[in-house]
Amino acid sequence: MPVATPKQFAAMLDAAQEGGYAYPAINCSSLTTVNAALKAFADSKSDGIIQFSTGAGQFVSGLNHKNAALGTIVLAEATHRLAEQYDVIVALNTDHCQPTAAESFLKPLIEATAARRAKGENNLFQNHMLDASNLPLEENMAISQEYLKICAENEIILEVEAGVVGGEEDGAAGTEDTPEEKLYTTPEDMLAVYEALHSIGRFTFAATFGNVHGHYKPGSVKLRPKILQQGQASVMEKYGKDAEFDLVFHGGSGSLLEEIRETLGYGVIKMNVDTDTQYAFTRPIADHMLVNYEGVLKVDGEVGNKKAYDPRAYLKKGEEAMAARVAEACNDLLSTGKTLFGSI
Ligand SMILES: [Zn+2]
């Protein structure tokens, strides 16, 4: 199955909204991590989302170039080819892109999709995120409108954010000193987002409810999922049931299962997973190095063990462990077994 068409991706979001589940959106930064996500979705019979950050794009383009757009296009094209092997549907997204990077990152990616469409091919990306949440809401919505229009012309869904996700992720999002009230999107903000965007095209919305990127000790993050419920209620009260947002949960690493499940009832259809899968990937590699110390190193004039220091020896272990963590995310988000492959 190739990557989702725009219609299939829209159907995926509708099915999740209707069915009270969400898709894991897995940050990938290499072919190995893309393969881990694809394997997990297929083994779980779950559709899903693979996404790339600007940092992943820079990494993939090579140390001498750090060209975020080029590296991201390479990852996306490779994922299109690799995904054809599986019987589930995956959609491709780009993660946080701040307004200052939109011109050099989002524009070339959207152009890459437009070029494929002109040849009658599927979109390169089904979804992009524009994160203008560092701007005042009015300016945030002005630039979001501009990009939503270009995305809509190419049947791409745009993810926007209002309020600030705490913590740090590839230099995006808030900082340690983000004032606490900024971490929670208000019902008024949610109404303003709906009013600014709904007539232009389809979008998803990362409303914030205390989420923090990264991983923190229990108790230091105060999630208030009811914020989402209140925001949805105020929008639907004014504009009807169809105005319900497709919400995105950022910074979910380390959240309690009950908090994750609660958000599914409030319209969350996508949850980003990065920190937890990064750790899952690295954990068995650390183990490999420590257990095979004398194989991966040339100690005291010895020659080491090629089987132990061949990068595939440990990257495969990372891939396997990351796939297991992605499968856990499918279970947490109730997407396991719900693939729409073959039915849309
Ligand atoms: Zn995020």
- Give the DSSP letter string of 23-68: EEEEE--SHHHHHHHHHHHHHTT--EEEEE-HHHHHHHH-TTT--H
For this structure, is 95 an active site residue?
Answer: yes
Let me know how long the chain is: 344
pLDDT in tens, 29-48: 999 999 999 999 999 999 99
Residue bearing tokens 């599927």: 122
Q: 247, 204 in Cβ contact below 8 A?
A: yes
Tell me the whole-structure pTM to 2 decimals. Answer: 0.95
> Residue 121: pLDDT band by 50, 70, 90 thresholds?
very high
Sorted by where each begins, the domain ranges of the chain are 6-288+323-332
Q: How far apart are CA 144 and CA 58, in angstroms?
A: 24
What burial class does residue 257 get, using C-beta atoms within 10 Å of its C-beta: 0-12 exposed, 13-18 middle, 19+ buried? exposed
CA–centroid distance, 16 to ligand 1, in Å, is 20
Which residues place a Cβ less than 5 A from the ion ligand 1?
A: 250
> Residue 26: pLDDT band by 50, 70, 90 thresholds?
very high
What are the backbone dihedrals phi and psi of residue 160, each rounded to the nearest 5 degrees, phi first? -120, 165
pLDDT in tens, 9-20: 999 999 999 999
At 260 the three-state DSSP class reads helix
CA–centroid distance, 276 to ligand 1, in Å, is 13
pLDDT in tens, 267-316: 999 999 999 999 999 999 999 999 999 999 999 999 999 999 999 999 99
Going 259 to 264 to 266 to 267, the CA torsion angle's sign is positive
Cα end-to-end distance, the chain, whole Å: 12
- The CATH number that domain 6-288+323-332 falls under is 3.20.20.70
pLDDT in tens, 129-152: 999 999 999 999 999 999 999 999
What burial class does residue 85 get, using C-beta atoms within 10 Å of its C-beta: 0-12 exposed, 13-18 middle, 19+ buried? exposed
Strand partners, 184: 209
Q: Residue 131: which of 72, 174, 188, 91 has the closest Cα?
A: 174
| 83 Cβ neighbours under 8 A, 6+ residues apart | 1, 2, 3, 38, 90
Q: How far apart are CA 202 and CA 223, in angstroms?
A: 27
CA–centroid distance, 191 to ligand 1, in Å, is 21
CA–centroid distance, 130 to ligand 1, in Å, is 11
What burial class does residue 208 get, using C-beta atoms within 10 Å of its C-beta: 0-12 exposed, 13-18 middle, 19+ buried? buried
pLDDT in tens, 212-240: 887 776 666 688 999 999 999 999 999 99
The alpha carbon of residue 260 and the mean position of all alpha carbons in its chain are separated, in whole angstroms, by 16
Q: Which of 43, 87, 95, 274 is catalytic?
A: 95
CA–centroid distance, 250 to ligand 1, in Å, is 4
CA–centroid distance, 296 to ligand 1, in Å, is 35
